[in-house]
Structure formats: C-alpha cells, structure tokens
Amino acid sequence: MELNNWTTNNLIETINKITAESTLFFDMDGTLINTNYSNFLSYKSAILSVTETEFNLTYNPNIRFNRSTLEQTCNLSEEDYYKIIKEKEECYINFLHETLLNQEVVDILYKYMKTNKTVLVSNCREERAIMTLNYHGLHDKFSNLFFRQLEQNNKKINKYEYAIKVLNISPNSVLIFENEISEIEDAIQAGINPYNVIKL
C-alpha cells in the first residue's frame, strides 16, 4: 500500500479492530512519517562532503537508501564509509523539511492517544527519531518510545519482542502499524496476531 493512499474503507477497517484494551504500536520511518527522501538527500550530501565526488545517485522512492546501498553503490575506503555514516547523521537536520507525515496514520495516533496506550517502536536511532518527531510535533503523543536496540554483538534485536517484554503486556493486545515486511515478520514472531498488523 502506498503511503498517503489509504481509502476510507482501509481507515474504517483499521478503526474497527481497535478496542479499549488495544495497545497501538507505531513504526516511524515509512509508516508514521515518510523519511526516505530526506534520508537519501542526507546520504548524498554526506557522500559529496567526504569524497568530493559526484556519484551517479538516483532517488528511488520504493527503496530506502541505507548502509548496504552505500556499500554497493559507491566504491569507498573503509575510512570514508564510516566518515559518511557519521556525516549523514549530522546533516540530516538540513533535510527535515523533506519529511512528510502519513496523515491517516497520524490521525489514528491523535484519535487514540488519550484512551489507549500508544507506543513508538522504531529501529531509528534515538537522536534522529526525536529530532524528526519534534519537527512534526509528535514527540509527546506517545505513552512510550522505543528506539534502535542492539545486542552485544551489534546484531539488531526484534523491536516488537523487546517492547512487549519491557511493557509486560500480552502480544494479543497489540495492534501495529508497519511498512517493512521483515519487521512485520518479527511482529508475528513476537506473538502479534497477523490480523492486528496494519501494513502500509
């Protein structure tokens, strides 16, 4: 489902799934807020700043530019690779204006934030997530905030499993909003009912 392309039926169907006992989990990137373009521009700016080279980079709205893409697209030394990652985080603030709310999902957050537990569950790094949420006035709209967590070997953990454990809630009470297939698989593995997964 494309961002900002929900029909009235999608919205009604989602709201009908929410009960007084529901805990609502919201992913951020690509779900609550479309950050793909600002992310791409941040990488592009960082690459130019570090390498002083114009790589032939083209924005693809269907693919998120990430560290793997950086490795595959640009022939970089290890030193430049890590410099670009650091620079990308620092220059992201310059492209916040290119982020876009998914208004239908934001409306659901506003509708239920006073009656239900509303939780941000994101693999985004804390500093960037808070910066983005603050830009859109959403930082204080959640009961709890969960950011990127890593195991000791730097392996990414199942964010849904982690949030459920910390909150000490039943996965049966959780309804999630998510756009990434791999994260949806993690949610189901964490015990969340597929019926309660709202895929964007």
H or E stretch including 146? strand 144-146
Burial 109-134 (b: 16+ CB within 10 A, else e): beebbeebbbbbbbbbeeebbebbbe
Question: Does residue 192 belong to any structural domain of this protein?
Answer: yes
154 φ/ψ angles, rounded to the nearest 5 degrees: 65, 15
Structural domain including 85 reads 36-97
**CATH code of the domain containing 177:** 3.40.50.1000
Q: Are residues 41 and 30 in the same domain?
A: no
Question: Does residue 3 belong to any structural domain of this protein?
Answer: no
Q: Are residues 22 and 113 in the same domain?
A: yes
Q: Are residues 132 and 110 in the same domain?
A: yes
Helices marked H in 55-180 — which ranges? 67-73, 78-91, 103-112, 126-135, 159-167
Q: Are residues 108 and 159 in the same domain?
A: yes
Look at residue 158 in the predicted model and tell me its pLDDT: 95
Look at residue 8 in the predicted model and tell me its pLDDT: 61
Question: Does residue 2 belong to any structural domain of this protein?
Answer: no
Rounded to two decimals, the pTM is 0.90
**Mean pLDDT per 10-residue run, the chain (200 residues)?**
50 87 97 96 96 90 91 91 94 97 94 97 95 98 93 82 97 96 96 93
Q: Report the number of distinct structural domains present in the chain.
A: 2
Look at residue 7 in the predicted model and tell me its pLDDT: 57
What sign for the dihedral angle of Cα 81, 85, 87, 88? positive
Look at residue 5 in the predicted model and tell me its pLDDT: 46
Nearest Cα neighbor of 197 from 29, 72, 27 is 27
- Report yes or no: 173 and 75 within 8 Å, Cβ to Cβ: no
